[in-house]
Amino acid sequence: MDRAARLEQWYRRVYLEGDLDAVDTLFTPDLQEQGLLPGLAVTPGDLSVFAQAMMHLVDEPSFRLAKVVESGDWLSALIELEARRPGDGQPIRLIGQVMLRFEGDKVAEAYNSLDFLGLFLQLGLLPKDALELGMTGQRLV
């Protein structure tokens, strides 16, 4: 199985099917991760908690790898998550990027960037003008 297919299978198993035992199947035991939670290194065990929390925020999630670039041991992917907002069913779209270094068929390094501000705005968890307020230097308290 190629790396993109392996990543896609992992997202499907963990985020769509809720198979948290699959979290460890993609990563080396000494995974180096950055970006998912700024300032914190996330372990594969932490990813189980993160995946559960993310999937409780949305209904009917689906995802796709919109763009994939591979070079040597590296794979970079633009990921699109589409879902429905609980309660009113409004569509939600989350865009993210991952950059992964593989050792064999496992990820040894992962760099993540996800638009959480956009997600939380779409979920109604932040004021609709939160980005604009932030750009003016105002605090959201």
Q: Which tens digits make up the pLDDT trace of 84-131?
A: 999 999 999 999 999 999 999 999 999 999 999 999 999 999 999 999
| Least reliable range by pLDDT among 66-70, 75-79, 111-115 | 111-115
Confidence (pTM): 0.86
Q: What is the pLDDT of residue 41?
A: 67
Q: What is the pLDDT of residue 140?
A: 81
**CA angle at 33 for the pair 59 and 70, rounded to the nearest 5°:** 85
Q: What is the pLDDT of residue 30?
A: 84
Domain ranges of the chain: 3-131
* Res. 7 pLDDT band, cuts 50 70 90: very high
C-alpha 52, offset from chain centre? 12
* Res. 78 pLDDT band, cuts 50 70 90: very high
Fold observed for domain 3-131 = Nuclear Transport Factor 2; Chain: A, (3.10.450)
Q: What is the pLDDT of residue 48?
A: 82
pLDDT surpassing 70 at residue 137: yes
Q: What is the pLDDT of residue 49?
A: 84
Per-residue b/e over 22-50, b at no fewer than 16 CB within 10 Å? bbbebbbeebebbbbeeeeebebeebbee
pLDDT surpassing 90 at residue 64: yes
* Res. 13 pLDDT band, cuts 50 70 90: very high
